Chains A and B, each alone.
Chain A
Amino acid sequence: SQTIHQWPATLVQPVGSPLSLECTVEGTSNPNLYWYRQAAGRGLQLLFYSVGIGQISSEVPQNLSASRPQDRQFILSSKKLLLSDSGFYLCAFDSGTGVPEAFFGQGTRLTVV
């Protein structure tokens, strides 16, 4: 079966520190991968999506970057966190073929202090 793992669940980081959030998918090949952010009261904002290894599209200018070093691995990074990077980050995937359905990770609550 298809599953998605996202970690860590919670993270408290000081301003200026680096960030690495990881997401892995099982049970499918060549999925489309997504990183979303939820800031308080602002809904879901698509940050990055990827249709294949090394193919990353950025939706909004920001302090974050994404990488896809392997087919089923998606990493969200920052070199220096800002206070405004605080939020709830969600990784998601869909199979990219057949009947579309997106599956979400459990999310990471990031607090930058």
Chain B
Amino acid sequence: AQSVTQLGSHVSVSEGALVLLRCNYSSSVPPYLFWYVQYPNQGLQLLLKYTTGATLVKGINGFEAEFKKSETSFHLTKPSAHMSDAAEYFCASLQAAGNKLTFGGGTRVLVKP
């Protein structure tokens, strides 16, 4: 069974600093990969996704993620944190041959002024 691991349930960054959220998947076949953001008491919004092709994926709000097959990783980055980036972030995978999303445990980001 596939699984998704997000290292660190909480991350604190200073405004203007680099944001790095880690995600690793376990799957024998590279899956589709996603990053979602959730603001308090709201649903999840897609930030970006990797399906095929270019391994560096750019998303909304200045975020990007790189798919590294050799490391089974899909880490999310943003060069400069903004106060509005404070939220919870979820990494997810979906097997091409399957039909069930698998989520990581989530990482809550706190941005300090």
**Interface residues in chain A, defined as those with a beta carbon under 8 Å from any beta carbon in chain B:** 6, 32, 34, 36, 41-44, 46, 49, 51, 88, 90, 92, 94, 96, 99-107, 109
Chain A contacts of B94 at CB under 8 A? 94, 100, 102
Instruction: Tell me if B43 and A44 are in contact (CB < 8 A).
Output: no
Quick check: is B23 within 8 A (CB to CB) of the other chain? no
Instruction: Tell me if B99 and A88 are in contact (CB < 8 A).
Output: no
Category for how many chain B residues contact A: 20 to 34
Q: Which residue of B lies closest to A105 (CB)?
A: B43
Q: Which of B76-104 contact A (CB under 8 A)?
A: 90, 92, 94, 96, 99-104
11 sampled A-B residue pairs with Cβ under 8 A: A34-B101, A36-B103, A43-B105, A44-B106, A92-B44, A100-B94, A102-B46, A102-B92, A102-B101, A104-B36, A107-B43
Interface centre among A32, A102, A105 (most CB of B within 10 A): A102
- In the assembled complex, the Cα of A88 lies from the Cα of B32 at a distance in Å of 26
Chain B contacts of A99 at CB under 8 A? 51
Give the secondary structure class of A's interface. strand
Quick check: is B42 within 8 A (CB to CB) of the other chain? yes
Distance to closest chain B CB from A21 (angstroms): 13
CB-CB under 8 A for A96 and B99, given A101-B46, A101-B49, A104-B43: yes
Chain B contacts of A102 at CB under 8 A? 34, 44, 46, 92, 94, 101
Instruction: Tell me if B51 and A43 are in contact (CB < 8 A).
Output: no
Quick check: is B70 within 8 A (CB to CB) of the other chain? no
Chain B contacts of A106 at CB under 8 A? 42-43
CB-CB under 8 A for A46 and B100, given A100-B94, A102-B34, A102-B92: yes
Distance to closest chain B CB from A105 (angstroms): 5
Q: Which residue of B lies closest to A42 (CB)?
A: B105
- In the assembled complex, the Cα of A68 lies from the Cα of B54 at a distance in Å of 38
